[in-house]
Structure 1
Amino acid sequence: MKKILFIAFTGIVILSSACKKLLDEDVRTQISNLYLNTPAGIEDGVKGCYATLRMYYGSQSAGWMTVFGTDEYQNGNADATYANYTANLNAANGTTGGIWNALYIGINDCNTMIENIPAVTGMTQTLKNIRMGEVRFLRAHYYFLLVQQFGGLDLRLSSTRSASKVASRAPIADVYKAIIEDLTFAIANLPATTSDYGRVTIAPAKHMLAKVYLTRAGSTAAVATDYDNAAAIAKDVIATGGYKLVSDFSELWAQPSKPNTETMLACQFSNNIVSEPTVAPASGSNISAWNAANFDFCAGYEGKPGITRDLANGRPFGHYRPTAYMVNLYNKTADSRFAKTFKTVWLCNAPNTAATAFTINGNTGIIMARGDTCISILDHDITAAQKAKYKYTVLTPSTYEVGLWPQNKKFEDSLRATVNDSRGIKDFPIYRLGETYLIAAEALTMSGKQAEAATYINALRARSIIQGSTPAITAANTAAMQVTAADMNIDFILDERARELSGEFMRWTDLVRTGKLLERVQKYNPVATLLIKPYHILRPIPQVQIDRTEGTSTSFPQNPGY
Structure 2
Amino acid sequence: MNIFKNIKFISIFILSLCITGMSCKKSFLDEYNPSSQTTTNYYVDAAGFESLVTSCYPLLRDITQQRVLTFVGTDVFAASGLGAIYYNQPSPQGSAFDQYDIRLNASAPELQSLWDMLYREINRCNAVVERAPGIPDEPDSLKHIRICEAKFLRSLCMFWAVQQWGDVPMPLTETKAASQVVTKVPSKDIYAQIITDLTECASTLPVSPSDAGRASQGAAKFLLARVYLTRGWNFNNSLGGAPADFTSALQLCDQIIASGKYPLETNWNKLWPVHNKNPNLETASSAASVATANASKEVIFAVQYANPSAYNGDPSVGTTTIGNNMHEMFSNGPSGVAQQARTSTYNRWLPSQICTWAAYRLFDPTLDTRYDGTFNSVSYATAKGNVSLATNNPNPQNITLSFNVNDTTAIALPWNNPATSPDQFGVDISGGTKKYAVVNPNQYFGLGYKGSTAYVDNLGWGAPMFWKFFQPGIQYGDGYSTFNDPLFRAAEVYLMAAEAIVKGATGAALGGADVYYNKVLDRALGANAGMDPQCAANPADVNDLTTVGYRATPANISIDMILDERARELLGEGNERWYDLKRTGTLISRGEKYNPWVAYGLNGTPLIDAHDYLRPLPQGMLDNSNPHIDQNPGY
Structure 1 length-normalised TM? 0.88
Q: Following the alignment from structure 1 to structure 2, what is the Cα–Cα distance between the partners of residues 331 and 32? A: 55
Which whole-Å deviations, capped at 9, do the CAs of 1:450-500 have from their partners, x for residues lacking one? 9611111111122111426xxxxx765689774211121111111111111
Q: Following the alignment from structure 1 to structure 2, what is the Cα–Cα distance between the partners of residues 340 and 125? A: 46
Q: How does 1:168-179 map to 2 (within 5 A)?
A: 168-179=183-194
Q: Following the alignment from structure 1 to structure 2, what is the Cα–Cα distance between the partners of residues 110 and 169? A: 19
Match of 1:50 in 2: 57
How far off its partner does 1:272 sit?
7.5
Match of 2:441 in 1: 397
Residue of 378, 384, 388 corresponding to 2:422 = 384
Which whole-Å deviations, capped at 9, do the CAs of 1:493-552 have from their partners, x for residues lacking one? 111111111111211010000000001111111112213222111111112212211211
**Is 1:253–1:411's contact at 8 Å kept on the other side of the alignment?**
yes
Residue of 257, 261, 271 corresponding to 2:297 = 261
Task: Report which of the two structures shows the higher radius of gyration computed on alpha carbons.
Answer: 2
Residue aligned with 1:104, SS: helix
Q: How does 1:348-367 map to 2 (within 5 A)?
A: 348-352=381-385, 356=386, 366-367=401-402
Paired AA for residue 385 in structure 1? D
Match of 2:624 in 1: 548
Residue of 503, 517, 521 corresponding to 2:572 = 503
Matching of residue 436 in structure 1 with residue 470 in structure 2: no
Q: Following the alignment from structure 2 to structure 1, what is the Cα–Cα distance between the partners of residues 336 and 107? A: 37
Match of 2:14 in 1: 15
Match of 2:484 in 1: 427
Match of 1:532 in 2: 608
Q: How does 1:4-153 map to 2 (within 5 A)?
A: 4=5, 6=7, 15-16=14-15, 26=33, 30-57=37-64, 59=65, 62-76=66-80, 80-153=95-168
Q: Following the alignment from structure 2 to structure 1, what is the Cα–Cα distance between the partners of residues 226 and 199? A: 13
Residue segments in structure 2 that go unaligned for 5+ positions in a row: 20-30, 82-92, 274-288, 426-431, 447-460, 535-548, 602-606
**Is 1:8–1:49's contact at 8 Å kept on the other side of the alignment?**
no
Residue aligned with 1:4, SS: coil
How far off its partner does 1:7 sit?
6.5
How far off its partner does 1:150 sit?
0.7
How far off its partner does 1:71 sit?
0.4
Count of aligned pairs between the two proteins: 538
Q: Following the alignment from structure 1 to structure 2, what is the Cα–Cα distance between the partners of residues 85 and 481? A: 31
Residue of 256, 271, 283 corresponding to 1:237 = 256
Q: Following the alignment from structure 1 to structure 2, what is the Cα–Cα distance between the partners of residues 146 and 8? A: 30
Q: What is the root-mean-square deviation in Å for CA atoms of aligned residues? A: 3.1
How far off its partner does 1:121 sit?
1.6
How far off its partner does 1:333 sit?
2.2
Deviates more, 1:240-249 or 1:502-511: 240-249
Q: Following the alignment from structure 1 to structure 2, what is the Cα–Cα distance between the partners of residues 8 and 377? A: 48
Which whole-Å deviations, capped at 9, do the CAs of 1:266-309 have from their partners, x for residues lacking one? 1123788982444647xxxx994542332221524252246655
Match of 1:275 in 2: 312
**Is 1:75–1:84's contact at 8 Å kept on the other side of the alignment?**
no
Q: Following the alignment from structure 1 to structure 2, what is the Cα–Cα distance between the partners of residues 415 and 42? A: 37
Q: Following the alignment from structure 1 to structure 2, what is the Cα–Cα distance between the partners of residues 105 and 499? A: 33
Greater share of helix residues, 1 or 2?
1
How far off its partner does 1:561 sit?
1.1
Residues 496, 476 of structure 1: alpha-carbon distance in 2 compared, 3 angstrom cutoff:
closer
Deviates more, 1:310-319 or 1:119-128: 310-319
Residue aligned with 2:555, SS: helix
Residue aligned with 1:216, SS: helix
Match of 1:313 in 2: 346
Paired AA for residue 561 in structure 1? G
Residue aligned with 1:264, SS: strand
Residue aligned with 1:486, SS: coil
Match of 1:209 in 2: 224
Q: Following the alignment from structure 2 to structure 1, what is the Cα–Cα distance between the partners of residues 439 and 9? A: 46
**Is 2:312–2:320's contact at 8 Å kept on the other side of the alignment?**
no
How far off its partner does 1:377 sit?
1.1
Match of 2:407 in 1: 372
Q: How does 1:282-297 map to 2 (within 5 A)?
A: 288=321, 290-297=323-330
Residue of 508, 513, 517 corresponding to 2:583 = 513
How far off its partner does 1:404 sit?
2.8
Q: How does 1:214-229 map to 2 (within 5 A)?
A: 214-218=229-233, 219=235, 220=237, 221=239, 222-229=241-248
Residues 495, 287 of structure 1: alpha-carbon distance in 2 compared, 3 angstrom cutoff:
farther
Residues 484, 317 of structure 1: alpha-carbon distance in 2 compared, 3 angstrom cutoff:
same
How far off its partner does 1:558 sit?
0.8
Residues 29, 343 of structure 1: alpha-carbon distance in 2 compared, 3 angstrom cutoff:
farther
Which whole-Å deviations, capped at 9, do the CAs of 1:166-197 have from their partners, x for residues lacking one? 11110000100111111111112111002311
Which whole-Å deviations, capped at 9, do the CAs of 1:418-452 have from their partners, x for residues lacking one? 32544333211111111111111100111166961
Matching of residue 328 in structure 1 with residue 361 in structure 2: yes
Which whole-Å deviations, capped at 9, do the CAs of 1:32-66 have from their partners, x for residues lacking one? 32221210011111010112211112x1xx21111
**Is 2:497–2:513's contact at 8 Å kept on the other side of the alignment?**
yes
Q: Following the alignment from structure 1 to structure 2, what is the Cα–Cα distance between the partners of residues 344 and 39? A: 53
Residue aligned with 1:256, SS: helix
Q: Following the alignment from structure 2 to structure 1, what is the Cα–Cα distance between the partners of residues 18 and 404? A: 44
**Is 1:18–1:278's contact at 8 Å kept on the other side of the alignment?**
no
Identity level (%): 31
Residues 6, 376 of structure 1: alpha-carbon distance in 2 compared, 3 angstrom cutoff:
farther
Paired AA for residue 488 in structure 1? I
**Is 1:441–1:454's contact at 8 Å kept on the other side of the alignment?**
yes
Q: Following the alignment from structure 1 to structure 2, what is the Cα–Cα distance between the partners of residues 372 and 423? A: 27
How far off its partner does 1:351 sit?
3.5
Paired AA for residue 495 in structure 1? D
**Is 2:531–2:551's contact at 8 Å kept on the other side of the alignment?**
no
Q: Following the alignment from structure 1 to structure 2, what is the Cα–Cα distance between the partners of residues 365 and 456? A: 55
Residues 287, 486 of structure 1: alpha-carbon distance in 2 compared, 3 angstrom cutoff:
farther
Matching of residue 414 in structure 1 with residue 472 in structure 2: yes
Q: Following the alignment from structure 1 to structure 2, what is the Cα–Cα distance between the partners of residues 25 and 348? A: 57
**Is 1:249–1:463's contact at 8 Å kept on the other side of the alignment?**
yes
Match of 1:471 in 2: none
Match of 1:456 in 2: 516
Structure 2 length-normalised TM? 0.78
Q: Following the alignment from structure 1 to structure 2, what is the Cα–Cα distance between the partners of residues 19 and 294? A: 34
Residue aligned with 1:87, SS: coil
Paired AA for residue 238 in structure 1? I
Q: Following the alignment from structure 1 to structure 2, what is the Cα–Cα distance between the partners of residues 105 and 37? A: 21
